[in-house]
Structure 1
Amino acid sequence: HKSALMMAEMAAAQGLASEAKKYRQWAETMRANFHKQHLQPDGSIKPGSQTAYVLALDCGLLTDAAERKKAGAHLAALIRKKSGPKKSGMTTGFLGTKPLLPVLADTGQLELATSILQSRKYPSWGYAVKNGATTIWERWNSYTEEHGFGGSNGKMNAAMNPFSHYAFGAVTEWMFTDLAGIAPAEPGYSKIRLQPHIPTAAPKGAKPISWVRAHHDSPHGRIAIHWQRQQDDSLLYEATVPPNTTAELSLPSHSPWSKPTPKTTTTLLKPGHHRILVR
C-alpha cells in the first residue's frame, strides 16, 4: 500500500497522470481489502501483533483519525501487557521497530514512546548500553545478562551475531523529527517544519527528558534547535534557520510542564537565530 502511494506520487511528479491514477486505485483497493479482512469493529487488528498495528498505521492503511487513535491505544495496551520488572514490553523486530515510536507519538502515546526510548529493560536500546554496547546490535538478544552470547534462551547461534548493524539505529530518525522536531516541509528543506514533541514523563528510575539539542546540515545550511525546561517550568526554545528558507514553527501555547495539554501555536520564522520563551 505504501509503495503504491509512493509510486503514484512519483508518477504525478513526472506528469504521468494515468500511471498516478492507476497506482492510487491499487492503493485504495489494498486499503479496502485490509479493512475488510483485518480491521475489527472495536478498532483492533487481526492478527494482533505489535508489528501488525505498527505497519498498518505507518503504511497508511488506517487514515481516519478515530481509527488511528483506537489502533494506537490497542498497540499501547499490547506493549504494556508485555512489560514487566525486567521486560520493556516491545516485541517488534526489523520491520516494526523503525516506525514503532513514530506511530505511538502520532496516535497520542508520546509518553509511552519516550519511556521505550529511555528503558533499560530487555529488549531496548538502553539494555544494550547497560550491557556495554557502543554500537547498534543486529539483534535485541545479541547479548543477554542470563545467557551471554547465547541469546534469550541460551541456544542462539553466536556465529551470526553482528554487533555493528544499523537496523535498530533507525530510532535516531524519530529523535530528530519528533523529539528535536526538525523535518522538511518541502523537498530539499526549502521550507522547514519545526515541531518538537516534548515529553513530560519518564519510566521508573529515569528522569524525564528536560532538554534536546540537535542540528541538521541541509542544502541551504545548518538548521539548529535547542529546547530546555527552565527552573520555573517555562520552556526555552531556540532555532537557527538558514538563508533562503523559512520555517514553520509549532510550539505549545503554554509550557507543557505548567499545563498538561496545551494548545499549539504556529509561527513563520525567517532566516536567522530565534529565541522564544513559553510560560
Structure 2
Amino acid sequence: TEIIERHWAAMTRWMNYLTDANPNGLWMNKRGNDFGDWLSIKADTPKDVLATGYYAYDASLMARMARATGRLEEATKYDALFEHIKSAFNTAFVTSDGKIKGGTQTSYLVGLRFNLLPAALRPLAAQHLVDDIKAKDNHLSTGFVGVGYLCPTLSDTGNNDVAYKLLLNDTFPSWGFSIRQGATTIWERWDGWTPDKGFQDVGMNSFNHYSLGSVGEWLYGHVAGISTDPNSPGYKRIIIAPHPGPGLTFANATYDSVHGRIVSNWKTEAGRATYDVTVPANTTATVSLPVSDAKNIQENGRSAFQSPGVTFVRQEGARAVFSVGSGTYKFTTSAK
C-alpha cells in the first residue's frame, strides 16, 4: 500500500477537480484532449459515455484503495460518489431494454466492465454487445479504450465462444489479419496496412505499438486463467480459472511471480480435458475448472476429493472450485 499512501493526496485532488466541475455525475466538463476510443473501426463511441464511465471507475478504485489503507470514512464517501455517477449514467445513457448511448461495442463494454448497469439489464446489454459483433460478421470495432475489455467481458458474461471467435479471426479487422500480412509485432492501427489501401498515414502508423495488444491480459487471465486474488494481492493467493474454448485444443502459460513460477496448462484430447497446475512455495491457490460435476474430476489418477493438498470448496454453476497448496497438480475430466 506504500504507493497508495504516496499518491493519495494527488488522487484526492484529481477526484475533487472532477466532482467540482461535474456535480451532476456526468463528466461533461474539463475533459482535456478527449481522444475517445482512439482508432476504432467504423464505431464512434460517444465521449460523454466514455468519460462518465471512467469517472465512475475512478470513484470505485478510490473506494477500494481507501479500504486497503484504513480510510473507512473516505471509502464510504467514494462508494456514494460511485452510486451517484452510476445513477446519472443510467438516467442519461441507458434505455429500459439495456441499450447504451452510441450502441457501439465499447459503449456496452464501459457499462458492463465498470459495473454501471442494474443487475436486470446486464444480460440485455451483453446480448446487445454480441449482436453488434455478429452484425459486423463476427468482427470487433473497438479502439484503444475498448479493446482490452472486449474478450474479458465476453468471457465473463457467458460468451466465451464469441471471444474465441474474435481471437482466431484472420480477416479485417482482427489480430489475425495483421499476422496474415506478415506482422510479428502488434500494430498501432487495425488498418496499418490493407490490400486495398496500402499503408496508413505515415505520420502515425507504428508497426510496433502495444495498443491493441491488451488482448494478452485475456490470454493469461481467462484462456490460461492465471490471476491474483484481489483480497490477497501480489500472488500470495493465486486464482487458476482456465476458460477453454472453440478453436484451441491446448494452452500453456507461465507467470514468474514474486513467489516463484505459476503454471497453468490445459489440453483437450479424445474426449478428455487435462489441466496441469503449478503453485509456487509459500502460496495457495483457488482452482476453478469448467466442470459441471466436481465428482467427475480426478487429480493424479484419483478422485480430486481424495487427493492430498486438494480441498473441494464449492460448485459454482458449471465450474468446480478447489483450494490447493503449493505443488504441482494434474486434473483430468471428460472434455466439454
TM-score, normalised by the number of residues in structure 2: 0.73
After superposing the two structures, state which structure 1 stretch, 26-35 or 6-15, moved more: 6-15
- SS of the residue corresponding to residue 96 of structure 1 reads helix
Which of residues 250, 264, 273 in structure 2 aligns to 1:235?
273
Cα displacement string for residues 89-147 of structure 1 (whole angstroms, at most 9, x for unaligned residues): 21110111110111111111110110000000111100000001011100111111111
Which of residues 253, 263, 288 in structure 2 aligns to 1:214?
253
- SS of the residue corresponding to residue 115 of structure 2 reads coil
1:182 CA displacement: 0.5
Which of residues 101, 113, 116 in structure 1 aligns to 2:166?
116
Residue identity (%): 38
User: Does residue 277 of structure 2 align to residue 251 of structure 1?
Assistant: no
CA distance in 2, matches of 1:253, 1:75: 26
Unaligned runs of 5+ in 1: 151-156, 202-207, 256-261
1:23 CA displacement: 1.2
Partner of 1:139: 189
8 A contact 2:240–2:287 mirrored in 1 = yes
8 A contact 1:69–1:108 mirrored in 2 = no
Partner of 2:63: 8
Paired residues, number? 255
Cα displacement string for residues 44-102 of structure 1 (whole angstroms, at most 9, x for unaligned residues): 112211111011111221252x422211110000111112xxxx521110111110111
CA distance in 2, matches of 1:263, 1:93: 33
CA distance in 1, matches of 2:118, 2:282: 34
User: Does residue 117 of structure 2 align to residue 79 of structure 1?
Assistant: no
Which of residues 224, 243, 247 in structure 2 aligns to 1:180?
224
CA distance in 1, matches of 2:97, 2:221: 31
Partner of 2:84: 29
Query: Does the C-alpha gap of structure 1 residues 254 and 60 become closer, same or farther in structure 2, counting only changes over 3 Å?
Result: closer
TM-score, normalised by the number of residues in structure 1: 0.88
Supply the AA of the counterpart residue of 1:248: T
CA distance in 1, matches of 2:272, 2:292: 8
After superposing the two structures, state which structure 1 stretch, 55-64 or 33-42, moved more: 55-64
CA distance in 1, matches of 2:65, 2:290: 35
The structure that has the greater radius of gyration is 2
CA distance in 2, matches of 1:140, 1:250: 34
CA distance in 2, matches of 1:239, 1:198: 15
Partner of 1:278: 333
Cα displacement string for residues 170-219 of structure 1 (whole angstroms, at most 9, x for unaligned residues): 100000000001110120111111111111x3xxxxxx101010011111
Partner of 2:199: 149
Unaligned runs of 5+ in 2: 1-55, 294-316
- SS of the residue corresponding to residue 9 of structure 1 reads helix
- SS of the residue corresponding to residue 188 of structure 1 reads coil
Partner of 1:90: 140
Question: Pairwise CA RMSD of aligned residues?
Answer: 1.6
1:254 CA displacement: 5.5
User: Does residue 93 of structure 2 align to residue 47 of structure 1?
Assistant: no
Q: Which runs of 4+ in 1 moved over 6 A?
A: none
